[in-house]
Amino acid sequence: MAWRPHEFLIEGELDNSNPGKVTGWMKFVGLDGTVHFDLQGNFRRDIRGAKYNS
């Protein structure tokens, strides 16, 4: 089951503009600072190769 953080997400960015790599950050209610991402893989087909900002 996937975690859906939308209720606690203040802002963030996920970037899959480099094939095979997803990087980014998110800021959540109740946390000081940001959570940084440096992942292997790609987004699903609908946003693969894109940058997503919230």
Q: What is the pTM of this model?
A: 0.76
* Counted domains in the chain: 1
Contact between 36 and 24 under an 8 Å Cβ cutoff? The reply is: yes
Reported as a single tens digit per residue, the pLDDT across 3-40 is 777 789 999 999 999 999 999 999 999 999 999 999 99
CA 51 to CA 11: how far, in whole Å?
A: 14
Range of the domain at 20: 5-53
